[in-house]
Structure 1
């Protein structure tokens, strides 16, 4: 029985990059990125016999990321990922496919005496994501967000579920619903107003979470994805992972107190995890190389 080399790739993971744009002597802009690059192509000999003639060192990948960050101004992370991916495929004969993943961490200006401070920030929660693949079969882009924690104190129910002798969960028609949103959406092409599309998708998701009267977190997930696709024709697929951040009503009766939906225990584990994909029925399948996360 023959033994052969299967699919393979390599790259530089988590290049931490902070770009300061000095608009004026005191007015600055800040961009904080985590960039990962992965390459594949004619690389069999490095695995089989240790011949590195076709290998682009991962140190070179890191240097390219830093050098491209000198662009003025730094583009949206989707465009930055496209520029990097196209460079790696175009510049090195042995490389036929490049995958780029970027997380952008948000910073907001610190309030000062005369308004927002021009060059001081505090780190905000959540992150923006972009994933790009560029290769022989074309170019694809997905975008998204993660670690965006949301909560609604009412407007959520959970009942009518299957029960057996192991079931201890009680049905409820009023509960806290909380989750940390991990979401990705796939673009139809590679020409878009990336910033506008991201802001609109994020706002739509959060608004739908708030306004949907939820009978299950699964229902909320579908409603969020459906709303994003309904509002943006340029998107064809939405994937989400929503961990259920459980809040349990505390029994205060041992202390002679009633608890009418006021005091909760926020449990961190174990937790339920809801995953799902919402897509247009006419959407072409995504490339297996597209980095979703």
Structure 2
């Protein structure tokens, strides 16, 4: 029997990088969770323990912190590209690098109606993400950026139906023409370019996702995802594809009749599990090949 090492990568997972910008009396905060992964021929380390080509994961962590100062963090996509290109360009054995980043939001504390210059409260909003992969071979260097968000919790109290579905002897779900629809959305969009206004694109995609969720009269969460994804691709020509994951956060009407009360769609129980999990990928015809853009490392982005 012949055994082979067919795939490998290694890196430092979830370095918490917080950058405070103090250029003016009004400070700015950027709060990240950074995962790095290096790819190349590191078989000697796995097979015989030879570390001569291995850049320690501790060094990768240090680089993430140093680059927060040296390069700065104008956006998580630009920061991730700088990190990935450094590892590929400056570390000989590295043929490809993937950087996965989560960004946590903070809101300024308001004192006497005025935003405070250097105090924040952690926001409960979505987490912004980026997965940057830079790879190099005989054909040259390629960069892939998958931007995104997760934990975007949205709910609409009407404008959603679910009926006409397939039934069998085990079906108990009742049809409805008016239901609460809620989800904790994960959206990832692969860019076809790195010459992008990252912050403006992020804000624009998020606004479209929310608009479509709110305004599409939904006959199924699947239909809503299709409208959300196609609207994003129609608005941004440099987005090659978008992947949407939407757990259906069910809200069930509570039977208040034992208490002599009517419940005309007003009181619900929010069930956390089990839940329906709806997923969709919408791609643009003729989009550039994804390469290893979707190959994960830490899986945080």
TM, length-normalised to structure 2: 0.94
Gaps of 5+ in 1: none
Counterpart position of 2:36: 37
Counterpart position of 2:146: 142
Counterpart position of 2:190: 186
Counterpart position of 2:21: 21
| 1:69-148 equivalence runs, <5 A | 69-71=68-70, 73-124=72-123, 125-136=125-136, 138-148=142-152
Query: Given that residues 186 and 244 in structure 2 are in contact (C-alpha distance below 8 angstroms), is that contact kept between their aligned partners in structure 1?
Result: yes
| 1:193-232 equivalence runs, <5 A | 193-232=197-236
CA distance in 1, matches of 2:116, 2:51: 50
> Could you tell me how far 1:287 is from its partner in structure 2?
1.6
Counterpart position of 2:239: 235
Q: Secondary structure at the match of 2:29?
A: strand
CA distance in 2, matches of 1:188, 1:197: 13
Q: Secondary structure at the match of 1:96?
A: strand
Runs of 4+ aligned residues of structure 1 deviating over 4 Å after TM superposition are none
TM, length-normalised to structure 1: 0.97
Gaps of 5+ in 2: none
CA distance in 2, matches of 1:24, 1:89: 35
Q: Report the number of matched residues.
A: 292
> Could you tell me how far 1:24 is from its partner in structure 2?
2.3
Q: Which moved more, 1:67-76 or 1:264-273?
A: 67-76
| 1:168-179 equivalence runs, <5 A | 168-179=172-183
Supply the RMSD in Å over aligned alpha carbons.
Answer: 1.2
